[in-house]
Amino acid sequence: MATVPIPEVKPETGFLPRQTKMLLGAFMVLAAIGAYAFFNLQSTQQYFLTLAELKAKGIAAHNQSVRVSGGLVPNSTKVDSKNIVARFSLTDGSITMPVEYKNGILPDTFEKATEVIAEGKLASDGIFYATLVLAKCPSKYDPSTTEWRTSEQYGK
């Protein structure tokens, strides 16, 4: 009777088995992608604050980039076209905050806006220096107040 030698199984020489290494590598890649997505989405996501919430933050809100929402105070808009600066005030009924917007054009619906969102920084002097202004259109559209023009009237 012939004897067949049984091959000897050599143990792995590495620290961890191959499957564990693959699983650990995949986990590290997924963790890196997750961390990258979390931190990048965190910087692009910006919630807007009401004037009361901004005031409640106190000194912590100074020189921190935020979005603030409030109603436009009627007849408070002053535009200096020479220096390209617009100044207006926002209110929530009890708190009024002056806003200064430089080097930008106000939205077309700004004067008719019921609510304005301004993005920028609150300075220690109490003025909100905006870098972006968004105007919320009135919720009720009245076509009778719209001025219709023909293409010939635009050329004149």
> Is residue 156, in this structure, part of any structural domain at all?
no
Q: Looking at 33-47, 50-64, 76-90, 121-135, which range is the least confident one?
A: 33-47
Q: What pLDDT, on the 0 to 100 scale, is given for residue 141?
A: 55
Domain range enclosing 83: 48-136
> Is residue 11, in this structure, part of any structural domain at all?
no
CATH of the domain at 64: 2.40.50.140
- For residue 156, what pLDDT band results from cuts at 50, 70 and 90? very low
- How many domains in the chain? 2
Give the H/E segment covering residue 28: helix 18-44
pTM: 0.59
- For residue 47, what pLDDT band results from cuts at 50, 70 and 90? confident
Selection from 44, 42, 64, 61 nearest residue 53 by Cα? 61
- For residue 144, what pLDDT band results from cuts at 50, 70 and 90? low
